[in-house]
């Protein structure tokens, strides 16, 4: 039976408050590092981020009920062994929780989770994504200095027992030598955009660079 797991944000001041949905941040290299830490031994898991998709679902930009969470997950793209990362504006409901401070919600086990776009772009972004992916892989919350603690704590430790459970998940694919998980990042928008925003690096960085370029060119033309 799938159970929705909620992640609460404690260190809110560490999240990029200026960020809004309308972009995807996945940080594949950081996720690879988390799922290849020492506890994985000789069986690290490669996190493979696929091409970004976009769903025009204005009613799901701000999720306030658990019913909406489940309805969003019904739009799953890909097969049963493909995980969907959904990026939205805000979420304040997950399972039996309806409170402010929620930044992510995922199925345990399952192949879908949803996060706030601003939280995924913040300093805890890779931890948030890895935590929710951990739920999809069958992991429950575990209090303490672990990735699966119920709050963002800047710690990404996975125990050998958790790693064993992860390897038993049907989401982990293998050819007998390598192990990987396929991910579909999905942007939820009010209206279609063209082209789809670039997942990485952060849209904020790209935006600042573009402003710098335009500013420099503007100076040259004014001379």
Q: Express each pLDDT in 184-223 by its tens digit.
A: 999 999 998 866 655 555 444 444 444 444 333 333 333 3
155 pLDDT tier (thresholds 50, 70, 90): very high
Distance CA 198, CA 95 (A): 31
pLDDT at 219: 36
pLDDT at 195: 65
Q: Express each pLDDT in 2-59 by its tens digit.
A: 666 666 554 333 334 334 456 899 999 999 999 999 999 999 999 999 999 999 999 9
Distance CA 57, CA 84 (A): 15
pLDDT at 163: 98
Residue with the two structure tokens 């949803």: 114
pLDDT at 23: 86
- The CA distances from residue 165 to 2, 81, 171, 197, in Å, are 16, 16, 11, 35
Q: Express each pLDDT in 71-116 by its tens digit.
A: 999 999 999 999 999 999 999 999 988 988 899 999 999 999 999 9
Length of the chain as a residue count: 223
The CATH number assigned to the domain holding 48 equals 3.40.390
pLDDT at 214: 36
Distance CA 191, CA 56 (A): 6
pLDDT at 73: 98
pLDDT at 222: 36
Task: Extract the tokens encoding 157.
Answer: 């430790």
Q: Count of domains in the chain?
A: 1
Domain that holds residue 125: 3-222
3-state secondary structure 44-112: CEEEEECCCEEEECHHHCEECCHHHHHHHHCCCCCCCCEEEEEEECEECEECCEECCCEEEEEEECCCE
pLDDT at 153: 94
Residue with the two structure tokens 């994985």: 40
């Amino acid at each position: 039976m799938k159970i929705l797991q909620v992640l609460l944000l404690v260190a809110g001041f560490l999240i990029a408050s200026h960020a809004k949905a309308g972009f995807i941040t996945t940080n594949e290299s950081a996720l690879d590092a988390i799922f290849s830490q020492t506890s994985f031994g000789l069986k690290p898991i490669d996190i493979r981020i696929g091409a970004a998709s976009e769903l025009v679902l204005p009613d799901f930009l701000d999720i306030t009920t658990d019913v909406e969470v489940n309805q969003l997950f019904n739009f799953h793209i890909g097969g049963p062994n493909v995980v969907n990362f959904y990026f939205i504006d805000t979420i304040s409901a997950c399972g039996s929780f309806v409170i402010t401070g929620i930044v992510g919600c995922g199925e345990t086990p399952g192949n879908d989770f949803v996060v706030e776009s601003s939280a995924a772009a913040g300093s805890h972004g890779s931890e948030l994504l890895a935590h929710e992916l951990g739920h999809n892989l069958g992991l429950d919350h575990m209090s303490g200095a672990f990735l699966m603690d119920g709050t963002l704590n800047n710690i990404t430790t996975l125990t050998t027992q958790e790693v064993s459970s992860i390897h038993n998940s049907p989401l982990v694919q293998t050819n007998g030598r390598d192990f990987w998980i396929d991910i579909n990042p999905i942007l939820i928008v009010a209206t279609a955009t063209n082209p789809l925003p670039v997942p990485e690096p952060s849209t904020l960085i790209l935006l600042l660079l573009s402003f710098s370029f335009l500013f420099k060119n503007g100076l040259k033309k004014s001379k």
